[in-house]
Chains A and B, each alone.
Chain A
């Protein structure tokens, strides 16, 4: 993975595979605390004890066909630990999972956030029925997007239509370019 936005896409896709219909992506950058924290939470089926114990083993997967390896969490864990951070997972069977990865913000090996606007727009475009809550905090600023609220505003216009996706993508990119 060349940047963190691709890891976020990967973890969110896991949530979708786990049957989630509500996914929250929260990013917090705090220069004064020297921390970058990413949390992806969902209301999917959650993990049992055995799965949770093995979740960072790349040769463990709950998938029984086509693939018997699971690299998403192990790659994110390795990346966080290489950058003075850690990964924390909270899960409850039938209620959902929350994955939090933290990084030392100024660590020389920390990959950039990357194109997070593309990650969010890709998720909404491909999964219009899922409620996505996106929050980006940077020092004192905050950007929030809730597709449930957006859908209400759109009043029947598909949320994954080209104009709406461009609106979302441009909105996130524009906010991130602020000083």
Chain B
């Protein structure tokens, strides 16, 4: 297991400095992981871990991952909302690590909604 050292940090910095370019237009995609008590108890942290892994493997740098509170459908957790620029948001339900990996590849990267996990398309106000 790696040990936290300044030299490791410097290596990371140098590696990123050679590829890092400032973006002016913000992010292309946003994934919101529902992280209320219900979501956390149902496995939301594993969903974030899987997303971290997929983003790292893809090398994508135009995707933001954030969290929100309870969406009011605790029995459907873990849930995420995927928003692709200029497209309506899609809420996904009852996710597993494999499920979010599939959604990441198909929807976040590929633009194709994964119907089997989709709960609702479009914005909602209250349930």
Q: Enumerate chain A interface residues (CB-CB to B < 8 A).
A: 1, 6, 9-10, 13, 16-17, 63, 65-67, 70-72, 75, 115, 118-119, 121-122, 125-127, 150, 153-158, 160-168, 170-175, 177
**Chain A to chain B contacts (Cβ below 8 Å), 13 pairs:** A6-B45, A13-B67, A72-B37, A126-B33, A126-B65, A153-B6, A155-B13, A164-B12, A166-B56, A167-B9, A167-B12, A170-B3, A175-B4
Q: Which residue of A lies closest to B72 (CB)?
A: A66
15 A-B pairs besides A1-B41, A177-B1 with CB distance below 8 A are: A9-B40, A16-B67, A65-B126, A66-B69, A66-B72, A71-B38, A72-B37, A118-B49, A126-B35, A127-B67, A155-B13, A160-B65, A162-B55, A167-B4, A175-B4
**Among the listed stretches B15-23, B83-91, B97-105, which one makes contact with chain A, having 4 or more residues with CB under 8 Å of it?**
B15-23
Size class of B's contact patch? Answer: 35 or more
Q: Compute the total of residue contacts between A and B using a CB distance below 8 Å.
A: 110
A122, chain B: closest CB distance, angstroms = 5
Q: CB-CB contacts of B72-110 with A at 8 A, as 1s and 0s? A: 100000000000000000000000000000000000000
Q: Determine which of B9, B37, B55 lies in contact with A10 in the assembled complex, contact meaning CB atoms within 8 Å.
A: B37
Are B41 and A6 touching (Cβ within 8 A)? yes
Q: Enumerate chain B interface residues (CB-CB to A < 8 A).
A: 1-4, 6, 8-9, 12-13, 15-17, 20, 33, 35-38, 40-41, 45, 48-49, 52, 55-56, 61, 65-67, 69-72, 126-127
